[in-house]
Structure 1
Amino acid sequence: MIKEHASEGRQLRTLHYKSDLVVTGGGLAGVCCAITAAREGISVVLVQDRPVLGGNSSSEIRLWVLGATSHMGNNNRWAREGGVIDEIMVENTWRNPEGNPLIFDTILLEKVTNEENIRLLLNTAVFEVSKRSAGTIEKVKAFCSQNSTLYELEAPLFCDASGDGIVAFQAGAAFRMGAESKEEFGEKFAPTAEYGELLGHSIYFYTRDTGQPVTFVPPAYALKDITAIPRYKNINSNDHGCQLWWIEYGGRLDTVHETETIKWELWKVVYGVWNYIKNSGLFPEAETLTLEWVGQIPGKRESRRFEGDYMLRQQDIVEQRVHDDAVAFGGWSIDLHPADGIFSEKPACNQWHSKGVYQIPYRCLYSHNISNLFLAGRIISASHVAFGSSRVMGTGACGAQAVAMAAALCTRYGISPRDLLQEDRMKELQALLVRKGQYIPQLLTADKENIVNGAVITASSEYVLYNLHPDGHRISLSAAMAQMLPLKAGKIPVISIYADAAEDTLLQVSLRTGSKPVHHTPDLVLEELFIPLKKGTQKIPLQFTAILPSDNYIFLSFLRNDLISLHSSGERVSGIITVFNKTNPAVSNYGAQIPPEDIGVETFEFWCPERRPGGRNLALEIAEGIALFGVENLRNGIDRPTSQPNIWLAATDDADPRITISWPEKRRISKVYLSFDTDFDHPMENVIYHHPERVMPFCVRSFIICNDRKEPVFRSADNHQSARHITFDQPVETSSITVHLEGTHGGTPAGLFAIRCYE
């Protein structure tokens, strides 16, 4: 029993924690930052003011996680973010292909609590910042309402991933809210007043079919005049969850301090929309539907953006500019919304895509005037226009992983974030990020500690693409399509395909490639063929005289002709894919991007894959073969297809696919890192979408690592992840390491993007 006499007052219970890094904000950026840093051996306190992790991706808000893949609706091939965020998305697809948001919560919580270097504080809000000097944070104070405890969190380094920038704001970090003028950064797409100062908030709802009639009596505060929503005629009873992203409001308000006002307006709209669906008489199919869930807090898009030593801008995205300090990447469209949100007469979004992914500089990820403060998530240093792309969760998580690795190096060397701009330090940061699965476009790193670089690599076999066998299926040319194939610079080999013609007609073949090897937009036409076809089935050898100017993918493009269908193959090969010139209105893809004049955005066509279980390759024959799947790809530093496939594949008839890494003398191997193909083209949305496979077909099913005496030193029987980082309990003394690959999950040629070994 506890009994206390009356007193003049009492102090809250206060706990003091010291760590190497305090991360404020438990959204995906904060989660990936904390996990990455903890795995690098530094101590982390992760402070989250909500009862669950994930922020906008959590079950409280239920927004799908997206980044550069853009629902496979743009030309960014193999663009899913790597590292911890990839690990999370792959694991969610493995456990939760149905897209249950509650299961996603459990995965995030498990990933964080599995790390012994992380102290997690849920339901805990930071409310005060103490500084050691004008430019240095000493500690933050936070309060947990659930245990009535005050926390004082002290560290040499802080990361603000809180969305509104609560730590950065109180620390006095320079920030912006709203849109810059065209003149400040020369951004031609700097928005007009109607497209607003800020992007608003959204609240979603889920429905369920009960199988029997359900009545709905709206609450008194529900929006009564549905015609106040200009797009009310587009409302339908099938959409739910983040398909309702356009239920947005608040762009003309203070999206920090007026969030509660915005939330109430969104609740009015949500219940007004549902009342319209249930009671207008226009949706008889909704008779048995009921509301299963409505968001209690809004998903925020935009508030404060904090200034770093560089501000990402429109030109960085559109031109894919190169930065010496690139540490992450983006690829979502420049996606700005009207300030009036759902009450606007304007389109609900204004998306303009770039031709490929773009670099994010390290200078955007720390405050320029607070020396020990990192920035992560949507608050990084970017203009309002660039923020339209960088704000999405996959991109925010990618940048946060770079912050975490930077924090680990700062801890190791006792330096500040800005000190990592020194050339050798930056190269070390970039190499460490790539080692752990981060992809940095247009960057080749030298991992000096990877002893595979000085070894001899031999393989049991190497795949050569001679043919993809027909299996009776056809692809209609009711829409233009292309087979993407990697080639070295020079002449184009003869490629034979098979076609069916309903009557005599003309097949138009356009040989294309990208104008730059850093994107997959087929904007350079090398040659066109016009081939007469007879009615019936025929084999067609495609002979080109054009020269491929640089190592790159070609697009063997077949223009629309409703009379023709091409024979296809069910065979899948890593780095080989078909794309189609179709539309995807969900991401403003209408077959081609044709922007207004002088907004600084390029005109080009969209050529995008079909989602699985679609996405078949063409049946084809290549007499010379394409031999770009050799062992040297294992140490080229690129762990996904880019302008080349960058993967070693075994021959299809290889009964024991294996790679052997050999050294002239025995080495003490402590760690082996393997990089598998989990199809970086598949977006792996965590909610709404249902994925046809739990694991990607290209991924190796199981593997064994053996020493020079052919003794197994590691086995994995249920592999499904992109990156496997194996640390031996005791170093393995050996003059060679052999990795045996045992099948894939889709009957594809077995392979690896990389093997890295460390002493």
Structure 2
Amino acid sequence: MSYNYEKTFDIVVAGGGLAGVCAAISSARLLKQKGLTKAKVALINDRPVLGGVSSSEIRVPPVGAGRNPYGYETGIISELLYEERHRNHNRWEMGTANSIWDIVLWEAVKNEQNIELFQNTSVRSADSIEDGNGLKIKKLSMVQLGNESNYEIFSKIFIDCTGDSTLAYEAGAECMEGREEKSKYNEIFGQDKPDDGHMGSSLLFQAKDVGRPCPFKAPEFAAKYESEKSLCFRPHQSFKNGYYWIEVGVPHETIKHNEEIRDELLRHVLGVWDHLKNHCSHFGKEVENWALDWVGMIPGKRGSRRIVGDSIMTENDLRDCKMYDDRVAYGGHFLDLHTMGGILAADKPGNPVDTDPDLWDQCRLKPYPIRLSALYSKNVNNLFMAGRNISSSHVANGSARVMLTTALMGQSVGTAAAICIEKNITPKECRNNYIKDVQQLLLRQGCFIHQLKNEDPEDLVLKAKLSCSGESNLDLTQNASSDNEEYKQLMDKAYGTILPITTNRINSVTLWIENEEESEVTLIVRLKKIKHVWDFQNDEDDICQTEIKVPSKHTGPLEINLNVQVEQNSFYFLYTEALQEIVYLKFRKDHPAGTLSVWQSPTTKSWKYMRHNSVEGFELFCLGIKPEQSPYGIENIRSGVTRPYEETNLWVSSPMLPAHVELNWDDIVEISTIEITFDTDLTFTNETMPAFSVSDKCVKNYEIQYQENNNWHSLIKVEGNYQRQRIHHFPEIKIENIRIIINKTNGDLCARIYEIRLYKN
């Protein structure tokens, strides 16, 4: 028996991965914000849990631009991930995702009352009609397992977040597949000849210590890996979780042969586990008590069909960071282009960068913008897309396909879709006529867009007078962590540090140095201006170069005179040349916002970030600077940018709590909404934050008070906060002044706020 239904929505999102979840939530919230209370959103997911490849069914940790300091994704996806980190007892590693993450996503969707969620539901077909010079999706048909229900779904706007472009393909959208030749887009990593190749799919596993020896006998069908040579290009220093390189691709087709790929992957998972238990020279009794606890049975896909948009994102767009006027999101993951065939290509590494560090440097990318015109279909007039199926070349997709990047795409198209409903327009018309509206709404939702800032005329903070209890100055000097012997680096390579400078002159800098030589050593220090925190690879000329003699056996601070005029409120890059002698540079574990240290590869000359280890924050070498710098002033809360970029954009109080920010106006103002963006240290990501964690920089307890008739009244009190962005709605009030009192953080001595917004409605 089956049941047949017809339903009508305003926006339909197909695909419940992170792109689809963020698209549905952003569109639903914005429709409500705009007063379209009857507008409805459908989210269709063909699995029992949300999250796509990051879910507990597949368990790939979501990554994005966060391997660039201050590049971590914000907006809806950070809201979800901060919630998950607060609740979850597991770290994010390959194979460790659990049901806590599934529940966080499910709750977030269910909390939006204008979203109807269809799980275990597959899109089967789509009907399109002629619409001017293109097509228009009229309806889609879908089947929901378990309740034997068939649906016909009508909608004004559709968003394809299926990964495989299922909806787009069924609707007649123009799609592309495979790898392009170099000459087509002039891409460094393009092919000599085009082909139909896609990166493969993977299955992960998780092992468990059962407390006693547990032998493993591989089934007959398992692949044989009986020597280290058989896995020579595939790193397996740990046996607890799965490996990305258990991957199968060509000659199989990602979509058509999904079942065969799963079976082949299972052979290799069991074969690799057999190797770890019975043949691996890396492990002895260490693995004896470990057993397979979980093996994925749904292949995590990387590539298949991509939808052609009005623009096609290429490798050059990523490398050149082109500032197109319709930029709405960003990426920053490296060009992650796996070996065709995966583990079937036994004579090659799973990813060429695994065995070639210089190639790795060539594949690194700083955060780059993503265009809206690559996020809607060229020939289907009411279709957006977000995810690995966007309009991009194969090479560009190697970076843009990762989940946190696709989540930003999802939030972007969800926002644009809501504007399409409000204005009764198409995605193309939205891009052509309302792109500034989309961008300003995304900024208000906590997102970052290159070179754009808050210009919302309705934001009352932009017209307020600001004051505060105090501000912190920049302090990069030696601290407790610097006394640890681990926190020093041999100066056999060049080191550099990004500095936010607020004065018009730098007189001197001080480095903490240990010279173990019996003679003095000549150290060369250089300084150049950079445009923003990720710009230190630029080819700009140095504005200053100084030689300093480091005395024999010197240990401690060493002042270096620069005496150079600089531009106020700008970033500068201070760096040293490599030394042949035994000289060390002292580091500290923590890093004030807008600062970070890097080192330079001697072979590629690429600057690389410094992390103390894989699960701690970025390092910073100890530094003194004269005159004192003040980059954390109160005016930063209305800079319009909510992360370090061209300035720090952050207010940091004096190191004493409680602290407060006060806003006042010449005339009485009416407000009903206050929006606050706190600091959560965007150099830490979901991968580097431990279990049950919140950012120690984040404000925990705060109170909002307003002044009326010269009396202060308590408006809102919050305790136990760990989220970056907090939005408070309340009945409209008339005020003279308002202040935010920070009583406690989650560990830091200072209160930190990126932005405050106030609205009448």
SS of 1:197's equivalent in the other structure is coil
**Which residue of 1 is the match for residue 87 of structure 2?**
95
SS of 1:90's equivalent in the other structure is helix
Q: Aligned-pair distance for 1:233?
A: 6.7
Please give the per-residue CA displacement for 1:286-317, whole angstroms capped at 9, x wherever unaligned. 22211111110110000000011000011111
SS of 1:164's equivalent in the other structure is coil
**Which residue of 1 is the match for residue 12 of structure 2?**
22
Please give the residue correspondences for 1:483-562 in structure 2 after superposition, counting only pairs within 5 Å: 483-488=497-502, 490-504=504-518, 505-506=520-521, 508-513=523-528, 516-517=531-532, 519-523=534-538, 525=542, 526-548=544-566, 552-558=570-576
CA contact (8 A) 2:333 2:365 kept: no
Q: 2:629 aligns with which of 622, 626, 634?
A: 626
Q: 2:392 aligns with which of 382, 385, 399?
A: 382
- Structure 1: which amino acid aligns with 2:526? L
Query: What is the TM-score of this pair, normalised by structure 2?
Result: 0.89
CA contact (8 A) 1:228 1:343 kept: no
Q: Aligned-pair distance for 1:569?
A: 5.3
- Structure 2: which amino acid aligns with 1:325? D
Q: Does 1:441 align with 2:460?
A: no
SS of 2:628's equivalent in the other structure is strand
Q: Which shifted more, 175-184 or 305-314?
A: 175-184
Q: Which shifted more, 185-194 or 741-750?
A: 185-194
Q: Give distance in 2, aligned partners of 1:452 and 1:281.
A: 62
SS of 1:671's equivalent in the other structure is strand
SS of 1:477's equivalent in the other structure is strand
**Which residue of 2 is the match for residue 105 of structure 1?**
102
- Structure 1: which amino acid aligns with 2:11? L
Q: Which shifted more, 132-141 or 627-636?
A: 132-141
**Which residue of 1 is the match for residue 51 of structure 2?**
54
Q: Give distance in 2, aligned partners of 1:195 and 1:237.
A: 34
Q: Does 1:201 align with 2:216?
A: no
**Which residue of 1 is the match for residue 295 of structure 2?**
294
Q: Give distance in 2, aligned partners of 1:458 and 1:435.
A: 23
Q: Aligned-pair distance for 1:92?
A: 1.6
Q: Which shifted more, 506-515 or 295-304?
A: 506-515
Q: Which shifted more, 466-475 or 736-745?
A: 466-475
**Which residue of 2 is the match for residue 700 of structure 1?**
699
Q: Does 1:574 align with 2:586?
A: no
Aligned residues: 720
Q: Aligned-pair distance for 1:592?
A: 6.4
Q: Aligned-pair distance for 1:411?
A: 1.0
Q: Give distance in 2, aligned partners of 1:667 and 1:116.
A: 32
Q: 2:121 aligns with which of 119, 124, 145?
A: 124
**Which residue of 1 is the match for residue 73 of structure 2?**
81
**Which residue of 2 is the match for residue 44 of structure 1?**
41
Q: Give distance in 2, aligned partners of 1:224 and 1:117.
A: 52
**Which residue of 2 is the match for residue 651 of structure 1?**
654
CA contact (8 A) 2:490 2:585 kept: no
Q: Give distance in 2, aligned partners of 1:184 and 1:408.
A: 35
Q: Aligned-pair distance for 1:637?
A: 1.1
Q: Which shifted more, 255-264 or 468-477?
A: 468-477
CA RMSD of aligned residues (A): 2.6
Q: Give distance in 2, aligned partners of 1:532 and 1:711.
A: 60
Query: What is the TM-score of this pair, normalised by structure 1?
Result: 0.89
Q: Does 1:263 align with 2:253?
A: no
Q: Aligned-pair distance for 1:555?
A: 3.6
Give unpaired runs (5+ residues) of structure 2: 33-38, 353-359
C-alpha spacing 1:235/1:648, structure 2 compared with 1 (3 Å): closer
**Which residue of 2 is the match for residue 7 of structure 1?**
none
Q: Give distance in 1, aligned partners of 2:219 and 2:194.
A: 32
**Which residue of 1 is the match for residue 489 of structure 2?**
477
Q: Give distance in 2, aligned partners of 1:48 and 1:458.
A: 49
Q: Aligned-pair distance for 1:470?
A: 3.5
Please give the per-residue CA displacement for 1:672-713, whole angstroms capped at 9, x wherever unaligned. 11111111121212xxx6627711122112211111132111
Q: Aligned-pair distance for 1:240?
A: 4.4
SS of 1:335's equivalent in the other structure is coil
Q: Aligned-pair distance for 1:731?
A: 1.5
Q: Give distance in 2, aligned partners of 1:632 and 1:230.
A: 60
CA contact (8 A) 1:327 1:359 kept: yes
Q: Aligned-pair distance for 1:250?
A: 1.3
**Which residue of 2 is the match for residue 588 of structure 1?**
none
Q: Aligned-pair distance for 1:477?
A: 2.1
**Which residue of 1 is the match for residue 140 of structure 2?**
140
Q: Give distance in 2, aligned partners of 1:529 and 1:251.
A: 56
C-alpha spacing 1:378/1:234, structure 2 compared with 1 (3 Å): closer
Q: Give distance in 1, aligned partners of 2:602 and 2:51.
A: 34
- Structure 2: which amino acid aligns with 1:280? H
Q: 2:642 aligns with which of 621, 639, 643?
A: 639
Q: Aligned-pair distance for 1:193?
A: 6.5
Give unpaired runs (5+ residues) of structure 1: 1-9, 582-590, 595-602
SS of 2:84's equivalent in the other structure is helix
Please give the per-residue CA displacement for 1:162-198, whole angstroms capped at 9, x wherever unaligned. 0101110000000001011222222232135799721
SS of 1:52's equivalent in the other structure is coil
Q: Aligned-pair distance for 1:211?
A: 2.1
Q: Does 1:733 align with 2:739?
A: no
Q: Give distance in 2, aligned partners of 1:114 and 1:721.
A: 17
Q: Give distance in 2, aligned partners of 1:646 and 1:529.
A: 33
Q: Give distance in 1, aligned partners of 2:572 and 2:88.
A: 36
Q: Aligned-pair distance for 1:604?
A: 2.2
Q: Aligned-pair distance for 1:751?
A: 1.7
**Which residue of 1 is the match for residue 244 of structure 2?**
245
Identity over aligned pairs, percent? 31
CA contact (8 A) 1:203 1:248 kept: yes
